[in-house]
A and B are shown apart, each in its own frame.
Chain A
Amino acid sequence: MRDHLKFSLPEKYSQRQLTGALAEHYVIRKEPTVSESMAIYDTFDWRLFNKSLVLCASQNNLFLRKLYKNKVIHSAAIASPPVFLSDLPEGELKDRLAPVIKMRALLKLVELHSRLTPYRALNRDEKTVARLVYEETKPAQRKNVSILATHLWVQPLKGYTTECQAICKDLEAAGFKILKREDIYFKAIAAAGKKAGGYSSKLNIRLDPAMRSDEAAKAILRYLLRVVKINAAYLEKDLDTEFLHDFRVATRRIRSALGQIKSVFPMDVVSRFKSDFAFVGKVSNPLRDLDVYLLREQAFKALLPPALRSDIDPLFDYLRGNRSKALQKVIRAITSKKYSQIMRKWESFLDRPVEDFPPAANAGVPVFALAQKRIWKQYRRVLKDGGRILEDPEEGKLHALRIECKKLRYLMEFFASLFPPKKIKKLIARLKTLQDKLGDYNDLCVQEKYLLGIAEKLPAAHRKSTKTAMAIGSLIGALNQEKRVIQDAIAKTIGDYASSSNKRAFGELFASQQKETVQ
């Protein structure tokens, strides 16, 4: 938390030696030792770390700083340990964190305990010219825990820079090293058995272009299995909604990989696992739907006229009640015999080495060629479906296009490491623009339908409330309005996506000469 110079101590250096090193020019006076503790927070997927931010809580204050920097950017007083954004007081800190952590819960990663011994360096007039702080930091308070780091902080006093520079020079001569690009954050995280940035919901799979396709597919699937397992372990704790979300996305990607990386595994294997993972997805559908409604509670309320905003509360109370039931259902499913059987079989399939004789038509093909062909084909499919929508923008067709886009997106992400990073990133970003529009449209359709049916399901007491019915009706109207706005804009988005420049960029990466080798 200090905006001062930080030094590392020479090996086996004691505090007593420290006073000795400086005693030649200054009187060194020791002050009473104080203890401090500090907890470091981040989301499960390291959203703060990925933005080089460090969030710490000490006593009743929350501090935000940049990695490698000691200066506090924003701080805020808190009454209890923070979990969600909504727990933070209004202000700069909250505003800064909002776009970063969004709906994710803050988790306490590690607690650091420091013993600070301040010293003052005095000149001949016994005026303090610099403050020094000897700091020992441990990752726990117990006595037998070894020290994580020992530092000496030197704080210059305004108007005494010359003296401070001289002290720093003396320290350096005594073997102290000034630390610039060092942050206790990493040691602290490592002490807690974690790795900063160790989990991301994004796909980061490194493939070799010459790899056999079935081997590459297994590498992708193994990566996804890891994501499924990590998130499944947290579902029961219900820390936030994104564990389930990441879990579902990973299972969906598994299904998509099985279907889209064509003819690398025997047909029967593919169809069996596809249906297995469909079960996993299906069982969590209701919970995810409820999560989406509840996450958007404030946004939904904002769509209503102010007079009706509180009248919609019975709906959200009802949804909240349903959510705990839905959560129990998911937990039962993933702790079921069926689920563990699926996982066991899946794991043993992935761990089995690929057979020498390729069991399927594309199994032995180099993955680069297969990736090119599959992406190119799926891209043309998207264009074709998009073209049909331009003729007749009907809801069912938009839904189908959304699914095709998703398949294309997953393929591009699975194989991203095989192509020039900048180029593929740009193409994915363009696809994402189209996907976002289609996704918004689909969400509105689903929500409209859901709300139309919900009024009858509300508990009897609220069913009779005309005001609640009015609020729901008003919300349906607002959603419909929004839907139409998107519908009008969608033609242009599809048109942009089918532009010749985009086609050329796609062709350059994926329309290759080698396609004959792939079936």
Chain B
Amino acid sequence: MTTLAVYSNKGGVGKTTTAVNLSFLAAQAGAKTLICDLDPQSSTTFYFRVKPKLKYGAKRFLKGGRHIVGSIKETDYENLDLLPADFSLRHLDAGFSKFKRPKERLKKILKPLKSEYDLVILDCPVTISILAENVFNAADFILVPVIPTTLSVRTFQQLLSFCQKNHYDSGKIFAFFSMVDRRKKMHNLLIAMMLKEFNGMLRSFIPYLAQIEKMGAEREPVVKSAAGSLAAKAYHNLWTKFQEAAHVDLRG
């Protein structure tokens, strides 16, 4: 089982749309996939038309094992299951700290899913607290969407220095460009700079497109609803580039 976290310490950068579309692509290629919605805002859960409710709330979620298996819902798509979000997940940080090794709790929670799934995608909320550290410990790879704007790039740098300070392997971090507008000079400049400076930067650009925003209305991955579209192609490209860079082959 490969665990991939789609993570960013900045909001509104396209984490959820990325997690939703990549999970669909992996499942379609034959990998048994589970997408975990860790965000109490439950956007991923909403996209898959599932009610945002864990069977026994965050408390049991923290226990892991059969408690989370019972909450898993099959999506409308073959090979793709969802662990829905729950509003009580907002207390997750406080919950982790009650356990012995609070920063490794998530890893333990996900352990029983190992035999059942080829890929687990974590859709993470905006955070750089104890939940973030749990994500860093649980994930084999961390995929970070970065908008080529000053503030977004700055936040990404903050993330890298946080990892360095806390001895997290920055080798498992991969970033790609999100909501790119090539007409903007600033975007192009920052893209060039980032590609030069950061090793894990993928040559993958998700354009800023109305079609992707429309996903909220259609409640379907854009790679499914508009399979031949520019947006779909961009996500396909991202998934290929990621697998190449991470040396993983998730085709089931």
CB neighbors of B among A82-131 (8 A): 120, 125-128
Q: In the complex, are the beta carbons of A125 and B76 less than 8 A apart? A: no
Decide yes or no whether B71 CB sits under 8 A from chain A: yes
Among candidates B51, B76, B219, residue contacting A128 with C-beta atoms closer than 8 Å: B76
Q: Among A120, A125, A127, A157, which residue has the most Cβ atoms of chain B within 10 A?
A: A127
CB neighbors of A among B27-61 (8 A): 48-51
Q: Which 9 A-B pairs have the closest CB atoms?
A: A159-B73, A127-B49, A158-B74, A157-B74, A128-B76, A125-B49, A159-B72, A159-B74, A126-B49
Task: Name which residue of chain A comes closest to B71, CB basis.
Answer: A159
Decide yes or no whether A450 CB sits under 8 A from chain B: no
23 A–B pairs (Cβ distance < 8 Å), ordered by A: A120-B76, A125-B49, A125-B50, A125-B51, A126-B49, A126-B219, A127-B48, A127-B49, A127-B50, A127-B76, A128-B76, A157-B73, A157-B74, A158-B72, A158-B73, A158-B74, A158-B81, A159-B50, A159-B71, A159-B72, A159-B74, A160-B73, A160-B74
**Which B residues are in CB contact (< 8 Å) with A125?**
49-51
Annotate B81-111 by CB proximity to A: 1 below 8 A, 0 otherwise: 1000000000000000000000000000000
Annotate A146-168 by CB proximity to B: 1 below 8 A, 0 otherwise: 00000000000111100000000
**Which B residues are in CB contact (< 8 Å) with A128?**
76
Report how far A126 CA is from B50 CA in the complex, Å.
9
Task: Name which residue of chain A comes closest to B48, CB basis.
Answer: A127
CB distance from A116 to the nearest CB of B (A): 15
Task: Name which residue of chain B comes closest to A123, CB basis.
Answer: B49
Interface size on B, residues (CB 8 A): 11
Task: Name which residue of chain A comes closest to B49, CB basis.
Answer: A127
CB distance from B23 to the nearest CB of A (A): 15
**Which B residues are in CB contact (< 8 Å) with A126?**
49, 219
Q: Among A126, A157, A159, A160, which residue has the most Cβ atoms of chain B within 10 A?
A: A159
**Which B residues are in CB contact (< 8 Å) with A157?**
73-74
Task: A127-B50, A158-B72, A159-B71 are known; give 11 further A-B pairs, CB within 8 A.
Answer: A125-B49, A125-B50, A125-B51, A127-B76, A128-B76, A157-B74, A158-B74, A158-B81, A159-B50, A159-B74, A160-B74
Task: Name which residue of chain A comes closest to B70, CB basis.
Answer: A159
**Which A residues are in CB contact (< 8 Å) with B49?**
125-127
**A-side binding surface: helix, strand, loop or mixed?**
loop
CB distance from B224 to the nearest CB of A (A): 13
**B-side binding surface: helix, strand, loop or mixed?**
loop
**Which A residues are in CB contact (< 8 Å) with B72?**
158-159
CB distance from B75 to the nearest CB of A (A): 8
**Which A residues are in CB contact (< 8 Å) with B219?**
126
Report how far A111 CA is from B13 CA in the complex, Å.
55
CB neighbors of A among B88-142 (8 A): none
Report how far A401 CA is from B119 CA in the complex, Å.
67
**Which A residues are in CB contact (< 8 Å) with B71?**
159
**Which B residues are in CB contact (< 8 Å) with A158?**
72-74, 81
Report how far A127 CA is from B48 CA in the complex, Å.
7
Annotate B60-71 by CB proximity to A: 1 below 8 A, 0 otherwise: 000000000001
Annotate A123-143 by CB proximity to B: 1 below 8 A, 0 otherwise: 001111000000000000000
**Which A residues are in CB contact (< 8 Å) with B81?**
158
Report how far A201 CA is from B74 CA in the complex, Å.
50
Task: Name which residue of chain B comes closest to A125, CB basis.
Answer: B49
CB distance from A128 to the nearest CB of B (A): 4
CB distance from A397 to the nearest CB of B (A): 62
Report how far A128 CA is from B49 CA in the complex, Å.
9
Task: Name which residue of chain A comes closest to B55, CB basis.
Answer: A159
**Which A residues are in CB contact (< 8 Å) with B76?**
120, 127-128
Report how far A128 CA is from B76 CA in the complex, Å.
6
**Which A residues are in CB contact (< 8 Å) with B74?**
157-160
Report how far A89 CA is from B219 CA in the complex, Å.
44
Q: Among B50, B51, B74, which residue has the most Cβ atoms of chain A within 10 A?
A: B74
Report how far A159 CA is from B50 CA in the complex, Å.
10
Report how far A48 CA is from B73 CA in the complex, Å.
38
**Which B residues are in CB contact (< 8 Å) with A160?**
73-74
CB neighbors of A among B178-220 (8 A): 219
**Which B residues are in CB contact (< 8 Å) with A120?**
76
Task: Name which residue of chain B comes closest to A120, CB basis.
Answer: B76
CB distance from A186 to the nearest CB of B (A): 31
Annotate A21-39 by CB proximity to B: 1 below 8 A, 0 otherwise: 0000000000000000000
Report how far A128 CA is from B73 CA in the complex, Å.
11
Report how far A120 CA is from B48 CA in the complex, Å.
15
Task: Name which residue of chain A comes closest to B77, CB basis.
Answer: A128
CB distance from B27 to the nearest CB of A (A): 13
Task: Name which residue of chain B comes closest to A124, CB basis.
Answer: B49
Report how far A125 CA is from B53 CA in the complex, Å.
14
CB distance from A93 to the nearest CB of B (A): 20
**Which A residues are in CB contact (< 8 Å) with B51?**
125
CB distance from B72 to the nearest CB of A (A): 6
Q: Among A126, A128, A157, A158, which residue has the most Cβ atoms of chain B within 10 A?
A: A158
Report how far A126 CA is from B220 CA in the complex, Å.
11
**Which A residues are in CB contact (< 8 Å) with B73?**
157-160
CB distance from B20 to the nearest CB of A (A): 14
CB distance from A126 to the nearest CB of B (A): 6
Task: Name which residue of chain A comes closest to B82, CB basis.
Answer: A159
CB distance from A155 to the nearest CB of B (A): 10
Report how far A235 CA is from B117 CA in the complex, Å.
52
CB distance from B225 to the nearest CB of A (A): 13
CB distance from B114 to the nearest CB of A (A): 17
CB distance from B208 to the nearest CB of A (A): 28
Report how far A158 CA is from B48 CA in the complex, Å.
14
Task: Name which residue of chain A comes closest to B81, CB basis.
Answer: A158
Report how far A127 CA is from B46 CA in the complex, Å.
10
CB distance from A160 to the nearest CB of B (A): 7
**Which A residues are in CB contact (< 8 Å) with B48?**
127
